[in-house]
Chain A
Amino acid sequence: MNHTKRETNVDNENIEVNLLIEAIRLKYGYDFSGYSRASLKRRIKKRLLDSGSLSISGMINNLLYEKDFFDQLLLDLSINVTEMFRDPLFFKEIRDKVIPELAKLSSVKIWHAGCSTGEEVYSMAIILKEAGIYDKCQIFATDFNQVVLEKAKQGVLSIVNLKQYTQNYQKSGGTGSFTDWYTAKYDLVKLKTTLRKNIMFADHNLATDGVFSEMDLVMCRNVLIYFDRPLQNRVFRLFTDSLTQDGFLTIGSKESIHFSGIADEYDQFSQTQKIFRKI
């Protein structure tokens, strides 16, 4: 064949990535076949560099025989970057528009899908507390990565981010002071345990697991951008089947439901934020 060196490299690399993904699925049951490739490849190559393995296919051997190697790879592949009140104006819209609707219900069920280390769900908990409706809420926070779930349960933030989180809190329309919600000791910031009371953290894989029933609000932000269209469609279907009528679906600011096949099952609830209401 008359391929250039680069084409050969890129083609071979794609074969290796496919084999690695298949090995992960067969051995550990995590299915990455529906993830956007460019990002997945970058993450795999990062692990390759850090691990000292010689090639991507060489890593297959490592991950089959060393569980630790796989755990580390999973951590790399699941991008866990998050913040308290990320996109403050989104959370402001939740406070101003969604909370009054939830307040009308006698009990409220909320699902945070892809909650990572918990910052998003604790932000929501603070909003529910400040609105005085926390006690009637049941909050499910799920992720497919146990390491981040364990961290989420601790409810500990790093002090280096505190200044930014405080600003975010204020921009999100916080009614008190962010300091009301944590105690700081040395360089660790511990969120108040009262926030944790109604939150249930659980392992759940959006690519392979099933519905949560009768949710009034599903929040899934900055997870769907990593999925290809068929996987996005699966997950949108899952959310739609999990929501009650009039339930809210919220997604990340750069994510879209337009091409999903469920778009006409929702009204656009907010003009400025990605908040939809099931019809």
Chain B
Amino acid sequence: MKKKRFFDCITIGVSSGGLNALMILFKDLPVDFSVPIVVVQHAKADSGDILAGLLNSKTELRVKTAEEKEELKAGFVYICPANYHLLIEENKTVSLSVEPLVNFARPSIDVLFETASLAYGSHLIGIVLTGASSDGAKGLAQIKNYGGYTIIQDPKTAYSSYMPDAAISACDNPDEILPLEDISARLVDLCRERSS
């Protein structure tokens, strides 16, 4: 019998077109969704931390800007603050860092994905959404490599298809390529297997 998979964390990388994409994605996630979600959205260094506030009113989940050393908990969406990298420690807490730009970005999606894959291994879901950057491609490949589950937004449905395309070519056999609208239902399914 195939062993049941369960997931402890979802990491999402998104760039241009991100606010809309995230609103659509989170709209249908239920309040009792059992897995913490961590988001890197590329943003200008001085953009302030407004994204969490904007998203909070659009979803039943609690959306907040991630803080250093914070422990990741179910029911929360953590947004990486502008101008910091977000790293996940093996003890499932958040670290922030001002180290140099990675792929011209801080925060960088690769930094989130690579550290998350070390922390969660096969219990991690990585998602790459719309964006005009190749950030996240390498990180998603590592998630896959370490046994995690990989989802890429179907480039045809993306505001900017560059980032999904880059992820598809970097990631050997991603688990799923889905239209944006279908991703949340799929996440509910994948994460329900946890409780059953």
Q: Taking A6-B121, A7-B121 as contacts, is the C-beta distance between A39 and B97 under 8 angstroms?
A: yes
Determine whether the beta carbon of B122 is less than 8 Å from that of A38.
no
Partner of A39, one of B99, B121, B145, B147: B99
Determine whether the beta carbon of A36 is less than 8 Å from that of B122.
no
Q: How many residues in B have their beta carbons less than 8 Å from beta carbons of A? A: 25
Determine whether the beta carbon of B84 is less than 8 Å from that of A254.
yes
Tell me the smallest distance from the CB of B158 to a CB of chain A, in Å: 29
Determine whether the beta carbon of B122 is less than 8 Å from that of A254.
no
Determine whether the beta carbon of A4 is less than 8 Å from that of B89.
no
Bound-complex Cα distance A43 to B114 (A): 13
Tell me the smallest distance from the CB of A226 to a CB of chain B, in Å: 7
Q: Is B1 on the interface with A (CB-CB < 8 A)?
A: no
Determine whether the beta carbon of B95 is less than 8 Å from that of A36.
yes
Tell me the smallest distance from the CB of B145 to a CB of chain A, in Å: 8
Bound-complex Cα distance A81 to B96 (A): 13
Tell me the nearest residue of chain A to B121, going by C-beta.
A6
The interface residues of chain A lying within 8 Å CB-to-CB of B146 are: 6
Determine whether the beta carbon of A38 is less than 8 Å from that of B96.
no
Q: Mark A68-81, 1 if CB is under 8 A from B, else 0.
A: 00000000000101
Tell me the nearest residue of chain B to A228, going by C-beta.
B69
Tell me the smallest distance from the CB of A63 to a CB of chain B, in Å: 21
The interface residues of chain B lying within 8 Å CB-to-CB of A6 are: 121-122, 145-147
The interface residues of chain B lying within 8 Å CB-to-CB of A39 are: 87, 95, 97, 99
Q: Is B118 on the interface with A (CB-CB < 8 A)?
A: yes
Determine whether the beta carbon of A81 is less than 8 Å from that of B99.
yes
Q: Taking A36-B95, A42-B111 as contacts, is the C-beta distance between A10 and B118 under 8 angstroms?
A: yes
What does DSSP make chain A's interface, helix, strand, loop or mixed?
A: helix
The interface residues of chain A lying within 8 Å CB-to-CB of B121 are: 4, 6-7, 10
The interface residues of chain A lying within 8 Å CB-to-CB of B119 are: 38
Bound-complex Cα distance A229 to B91 (A): 13
Q: Mark B104-119, 1 if CB is under 8 A from A, else 0.
A: 0000000100110011
Bound-complex Cα distance A67 to B32 (A): 55
Q: Is A37 on the interface with B (CB-CB < 8 A)?
A: yes
Using CB atoms and an 8 Å cutoff, list the residues of chain A in contact with chain B: 4, 6-7, 10, 14, 36-39, 41-43, 79, 81, 222, 225-226, 229, 254-256, 259
Using CB atoms and an 8 Å cutoff, list the residues of chain B in contact with chain A: 67-69, 81, 84, 87-90, 95-100, 111, 114-115, 118-119, 121-122, 145-147
* Pairs A–B under 8 Å by Cβ, sample size 15: A4-B121, A4-B122, A4-B147, A6-B146, A10-B121, A36-B89, A38-B90, A38-B115, A42-B111, A79-B97, A81-B99, A225-B97, A226-B95, A254-B84, A256-B67
